[in-house]
Structure 1
Amino acid sequence: MQVVPARRGRAVRLARGQAIRIVNTHGSQVVDTWAFNADDPSEFMSMEHLHASLGSVFPKTGDALYTNRRRPILTLEEDTSPGRHDTVIAACDVHRYRSLGCTEYHDNCTDNLHAALAMIGFPRTETPSPLNLWMNIPVGPDGQITWGEPLSKPGDHVLLRAMIDCVVVMSTCPQDMIPINGANCLPVEVHYEVTG
């Protein structure tokens, strides 16, 4: 198993048919997750297009995850957690932490995305809204959202199967000011492995 350190990002190339298992090692860590067409960075997994394809804001086991060109890039083949993953909230960035009162630089998922892509030599892209694995954002009947704690437990995992050659990026969200990474607001590492 490979590790995504706390507060950092990693990028992995997947050939069509390969899969990546992402493990919530401690059970409380949100992982911002992106996927890009390996041959064309302008095509990427898109939450807006996913909503239209699924008719839901919560992907479930067996669902294809769609790109901004409305074709599957990944399939959610396995999910041992309660299945609560967020598709509404944008990746955190320096502006988000500034609005929360930070006066110094704060690690963030947007910078983690671009650093992870740079490590594998993938062209810089825009920052699409991520699939926030294990992030619990309840949506009320009036449309109001709440910042919940993850419902997952240690060792829960998802298995994402590549439908095209792609690059998957994971960021262990550095959010330590609201309880999306658990009541103690402590970002931790997660693990992953690529399977055939």
Structure 2
Amino acid sequence: MAATKAAAFLGSQQCLPAKTGIAVPLSKGQLIRVINTHGKQVVDTWAFDSQDPTSHLSMEHTRASLLKISIGIGDTLVTNSRTPILTLVADTSPGVHDSLIAACDSHRYAQLGVKEYHVNCVDNLHEALKALGTSIRSVPSPLNLFMNVPVAGDGSLSFAEPVCEAGQSCTLRAETDLILVMSACPQDVTPVNGGACADIHFTVT
């Protein structure tokens, strides 16, 4: 099933609608280009080993490996077993991405004063994996593509509007067979997505 779904993504540009998630199987060496179609849209991104989802992209292990809190072209991101899983091979955006902030969930929106259910990246992740017949027990922190979280000199953080513009993109290479999950972040309470949520597009080659 995963192989069939992987073939369906190859070549043609795909749309990920605003506030939704998708799981994309990638074979080792394949590239996925994530396009910020309208600009200002954050994409929460996870990667799981196709054979063992307990082995996954780990931002804390990646920070230890790279010795920095941001990623740049040529950087290889690693798993919780410290093995390579993704490499950033191209980036036409200003290169502002976040590796610190956890994915939004129902608890986060409750803290922000939202009374009713609010779609969120954690639920998008679970639903996307379920569509491939996969599940996980705990949610790793994502790579938040295009997310702008400035770090002040005193170490404090803030949420700012993304600096990415419409049509800019970044391209990741799979370093093993994996399942890449993306959520077009539905955060519309803070400035994270520039005050609105939008579709993004992607291509697999």
Q: TM-score, normalised by structure 1?
A: 0.97
1:37 aligns with 2:49: yes
Q: Secondary structure at the match of 2:108?
A: helix
User: Which amino acid in 1 is paired with 2:202?
Assistant: Y
Quote the Cα distance in structure 2 between the aligned partners of 1:126 and 1:156.
Answer: 32
Quote the Cα distance in structure 2 between the aligned partners of 1:77 and 1:29.
Answer: 20
Contact 2:126 2:135 in 1 (8 A): no
Counterpart in the other structure of 1:101: 113
Counterpart in the other structure of 2:27: 15
Q: Which runs of 5+ in 1 are unaligned?
A: none
Counterpart in the other structure of 1:49: 61
| Runs of 4+ that moved beyond 4 A | none
Quote the Cα distance in structure 1 between the aligned partners of 2:94 and 2:105.
Answer: 27
The superposition leaves residues 18-71 of structure 1 with CA deviations (integer Å, 9 ceiling, x where unpaired) of: 111110000110000000000001000001001100110100000001110001
Counterpart in the other structure of 2:157: 145
Identity %: 54
Contact 1:41 1:125 in 2 (8 A): no
CA shift at 1:126, angstroms? 1.8
User: Which amino acid in 1 is paired with 2:100?
Assistant: V
The structure 1 residue matched to 2:174, chosen from 159, 162, 170, is 162
1:90 aligns with 2:102: yes
Quote the Cα distance in structure 2 between the aligned partners of 1:60 and 1:12.
Answer: 23
1:192 aligns with 2:205: no
Contact 2:59 2:100 in 1 (8 A): yes
Contact 1:80 1:156 in 2 (8 A): yes
Q: CA RMSD in A?
A: 0.7
User: Which amino acid in 2 is paired with 1:107?
Assistant: V
Structure (1 or 2) with the greater strand fraction? 1
Q: Which runs of 5+ in 2 are unaligned?
A: 1-12
Quote the Cα distance in structure 2 between the aligned partners of 1:17 and 1:150.
Answer: 29
CA shift at 1:123, angstroms? 2.8
The structure 2 residue matched to 1:62, chosen from 54, 74, 85, is 74
Q: TM-score, normalised by structure 2?
A: 0.93
